[in-house]
Amino acid sequence: MNDLMTTTSVLGSRERRDHLLARLGHRRMEHRVAPGLYRLGGPDRSSPVFVSANYTLSFDALRSALHGIDAYILVLDTKGVNVWCAAGKGTFGTDELVERIEATALAERVDHRRLILPQLSAPGVAAHEVKARTGFSVEYGPVRAADLPEYLSTGATEEMRRVTFPLRDRAALIPVELRNVAYEVILAFVALFILGGIVPASIALTAVLAGAALFPILLPVLPTDDFTSKGMLLGALASMPFALYYLMTEPGWHGVVYAAGTVLLMVAVTGYLALNFTGCSTYASRTGVKGEIFRYIPSLVAMAVVGLVMIAVTVAGTMLGWF
């Protein structure tokens, strides 16, 4: 029988630092724990068995919610990916669960044959197949680990089964989204400031902040049904002050071209950044994400190219005296 690993429900400064780095996207695939069977408290042969991903935030959310509860935690090798995404990718799946049950000799540890899995792991696990291959029955717990103590006492409620995406959860995504584009934004801001001054530099910064920070906050109130069109609408609104500025300060058709190019560029950038959120939202399905990518990417690229050409030709023509 394999040795058990031991964990606690108390999170220290080391874990909180790891959570912060994970939220910032620092070394994203390194935030993981070793797969295997963990002892939490003083479990016996009748203690419940919970199943988790080996992403540290998933594992820590589970164990910290089980304060005062003696249990086993079976950690699957999801390659450092959270439960929901791993279920979609197949790493939190039937085969991995069966193999981990066998590798840890779980049947020799407990007398019952009951596993409690996160509800969001359901797309990756065929419960009937797990039962047939191991004898263990799969039971899906609540969406949020924090509801587990109540779930163990009273069972699942409708509220526990409901997947939500509140402001707090949406705002938690902002730091990593900003970090993902920070290098490019800094380069663009500096380059545009040198070439054209504070207004072009502010356009680039505003487009990114609208797509990566303002969009997740306003997501539920933006009209239209998909993320990209929501982002495009937000980009159009964010571009209005700059478009008006060019119409008021640039003579004749120059102002119109500058304004139109600015709108096209900001709509394209903000729409693209909004599209990125389909992969981390409870609103989107896997097929929906693919459909949105194929539907909008060509349009976003076209708008960005046309906007750049309009502005570049106008600037070059003015500098070279073509107009």
pLDDT tens digits, one per residue of 96-111: 999 999 999 999 999 9
- C-alpha radius of gyration, the chain, whole number: 25
Three-class SS state of 40: strand
**What is the pLDDT, as a whole number, of residue 241?**
96
**What is the pLDDT, as a whole number, of residue 90?**
85
Highest mean pLDDT among 52-61, 83-92, 217-226: 52-61
117 beta partners? 140
- Which residues have C-beta within 8 Å of that of residue 58, sequence separation ≥ 6? 52, 82, 83, 118
**158 within 8 A of 164, measured Cβ to Cβ:** no
pLDDT in tens, 268-300: 999 999 998 876 666 666 666 778 888 999 999
Q: 5-163, which class in CATH? A: alpha beta
Q: What is the mean pLDDT of residues 235-262?
A: 92
Three-class SS state of 11: coil
Question: What is the pTM for the complete model shown?
Answer: 0.74
Phi, psi of 210 (to 5 degrees): -65, -45
**Residue extents of the structural domains in the chain:** 5-163, 168-320
- Can you tell me which residue has the tokens 């959120």? 277
**What is the pLDDT, as a whole number, of residue 51?**
98
Give the confidence band of 134 by pLDDT, cuts at 50, 70, 90: very high
| pLDDT at residue 127 is higher than 60 | yes
Name which of 253, 79, 316, 180 is nearest 87 in CA terms. Answer: 79
Average pLDDT over the chain, rounded to an integer: 90
**Token code pair at residue 286:** 């896997």
**What is the pLDDT, as a whole number, of residue 98?**
97
Phi, psi of 110 (to 5 degrees): -130, 155
**What is the pLDDT, as a whole number, of residue 36?**
96
**What string of DSSP letters covers 98-127?**
HHHHHHTTGGGT-SS-EEEE-GGGGGG--H
pLDDT in tens, 189-208: 999 999 889 999 999 999 99
Three-class SS state of 230: helix
